[in-house]
Amino acid sequence: MRTAAVTAVGHFLPEERLTNADLEEMVDTSDEWIRKRTGIRERRILRDPEKATSYMATRAAEELLDKRGIGAGELDAIIVGTVTPDMFYPATACLVQTELGAARAFGYDLSAACSGFLYALGAGAGHVAGGQCEKVLVIGADKMSSIVDYTDRSTCILFGDGAGAVLLEPAGAVGAEGRGLHDLHQRVDGSEWENLCQPGGGSRRPPTHQSVDRRDHFLKQNGRPVFKQATRRMAEASLEVMQRNDLTPEDVDYLVPHQANRRIIEATAQQMNLPPEKAMMNIGDYGNTTAATIPLCLHDWEPELRAGDRLILTTFGGGYTWGAGLLEWAYDDASIDN
Ligand code: ACO
């Protein structure tokens, strides 16, 4: 069986910043509350109504292709993890494909909320491991500002817009035999779906004047139970992956956690017996970008990563969806040797 390795990373963040001070003007909140309860200082917002998730996903992909030194025509597949597709269909992946000019790629979107990127990584790695694909573009991208209710202080302080992308290739094809995605543990539990959802717009509650009046098209979250489950499930999944791969905390070089709340990340690292500095954390600058958080962490830490580093990726999101994976990094510094 071939192993799929990450061979390049790309990202896109809109320039406009929405700070805690800005939010103080919009809802009854404070910079102190937001920092203390979440760790967030500011988030990026894609204000231009003409630009949607596919725009950010395409920019992240272009950066990645440039770094890897290949053309879009070499891509076999494009998978986009997102809960804010440009529209229900066509899939965002189709829009990215045509903007990039990825002439021979197939593609699809994957809906798993904050777990979208990790699940897409698993799907992409499967296409590579099974021999169907040589180059798979895996993107996590969300324009959360398009579904956030900026009159709801319990959710509007949390989310930001952004995109991150990785390229998956057979490890053997890039001189990184034995490296790549070694393990993935994934779960869903729909029994508490109402704690985190966007109730309107689908076939259950199609758009009507009433659904708009009820604000059904915005994200809803019951924070406390989601917090409890996220803390429990991310640690549980990470420990499962460590255990079945015989890894001690010393064997783990980095934890790459979904960025929903600083306190969830710290609790996860603690339960894994990892020192806090091993946990990647950039939530202060970007907030929760849903499917984009994990690839944005990989982008920000890429210059420090070394071939052979063992990364535990873990996530929890609406659904509920959660999981953890073991990724052995394939290259040094900021890019692989071509
Ligand atoms: N500013 C000031 N006060 C606030 C704010 C705010 N922005 N928001 C809530 N409060 C108040 C509440 O009204 C409440 O007041 P009360 O005690 O008078 O009723 C108090 O603060 C505490 O509220 P909680 O909801 O209990 O606050 P908590 O400490 O749980 O923090 C938060 C809320 C940050 C949302 C947290 O619950 C959380 O991070 N939840 C998990 C998020 C997550 O992991 N989501 C999954 C991924 S997202 C995805 O999949 C799309």
pLDDT by residue (tens digit) across 114-148? 999 999 999 999 999 999 999 999 999 999 999 99
- What's the pLDDT at 336? 77
Can you say how many angstroms the Cα of residue 56 is from the centroid of all Cα atoms in its chain? 13
**Mean pLDDT of the region 22-43:** 98
CA distance 129 to 169: 9
pLDDT at residue 338 in the model: 58
- Any residues with CB less than 8 A from the CB of 179 and at least 6 apart, and which? 3, 5, 171, 307, 308, 328, 329, 330
**CB of 154 shorter than 6 A to ligand 1:** yes
Active site positions, annotated: 114, 258, 288
Nearest protein CA to atom 48 of ligand 1, as residue:
317
Tokens of 230: 């996220």
Q: How far apart are CA 333 and CA 301, in angstroms?
A: 10
Residue type for 290, please? T
Task: Please determine, for residue 243, whether its predicted confidence score (pLDDT) is greater than 80.
Answer: yes
Q: Residue 223 CA: which ligand 1 atom is closest?
A: 37
Closest ligand 1 atom to the C-alpha of 321?
Answer: 50
Q: What count of other Cβ atoms lies within 10 Å of the Cβ of residue 25?
A: 8
| Rounded Cα–Cα distance for residues 51 and 44 (Å) | 14
Q: Is the CB of 306 under 6 A from ligand 1?
A: no
* Contact 171 CB / ligand 1 (< 6 Å): no
CA–CA separation, 227 and 205 (whole Å): 27
Ligand 1 centre from 227 Cα, in Å? 8
The radius of gyration of the chain's CA atoms, rounded to the nearest angstrom, is 19
Contact 75, 169 (CB under 8 A): no
- In the chain, the percentage of residues whose pLDDT exceeds 70 is 99
How far apart are the C-alpha atoms of 313 and 294, rounded to whole Å? 8
Closest residue (by CA) to atom 50 of ligand 1? 317
- Rounded to an integer, what distance in angstroms lies between the CA atom of residue 119 and that of residue 62? 22
Q: Is 112 exposed, middle or buried (0-12, 13-18, 19+ CB in 10 A)?
A: buried
Structure tokens at 177: 């035999």
Mean pLDDT of the chain: 97
pLDDT reading at 83 higher than 70: yes
**CA separation for the pair 69, 264 (Å, rounded):** 37
Is the pLDDT at 149 greater than 90? The verdict is: yes
- Mean pLDDT along residues 16-27: 98
Report whether residue 108 contacts ligand 1, using a CB cutoff of 6 Å.
no
Cα-based angle 312, 333, 129 (whole degrees, multiple of 5): 50
For ligand 1, atom 11, the nearest C-alpha belongs to 154
Does the pLDDT of residue 239 top 90, yes or no? yes
Domains and CATH numbers, the chain: 4-174 (3.40.47.10), 180-328 (3.40.47.10)
Any ligand 1 atom below 6 A from CB of 264: yes
Segment 196-233, tens digit of pLDDT: 999 999 999 999 999 999 999 999 999 999 999 999 99
Question: Using a 6 Å cutoff on CB, does residue 23 contact ligand 1?
Answer: no
DSSP symbol at 321:
E
| Residue 108 phi, psi (nearest 5) | -160, 165
Q: Which atom of ligand 1 is nearest to the CA of 226?
A: 41
Ligand 1 neighbourhood includes 58 CB (under 6 angstroms):
no
Q: How far is Cα 56 from Cα 176, in angstroms, rounded to an integer? A: 30
pLDDT digits (tens, 9 = 90+) for 247-278: 999 999 999 999 999 999 999 999 999 999 99
Write the residue with the smallest CA distance to atom 10 of ligand 1: 154
Tell me the percentage of the chain whose pLDDT exceeds 90. Answer: 98
pLDDT tens-digit map of 273-319: 999 999 999 999 999 999 999 999 999 999 999 999 999 999 999 99
Res 335: pLDDT:
75
- Model pLDDT, residue 61: 98
Q: What is the pLDDT of residue 333?
A: 76
Instruction: Assess whether pLDDT exceeds 90 at residue 52.
Output: yes
Q: Is the dihedral of CA 159, 110, 76, 98 positive or negative?
A: negative
CA 317 to ligand 1: nearest atom: 50
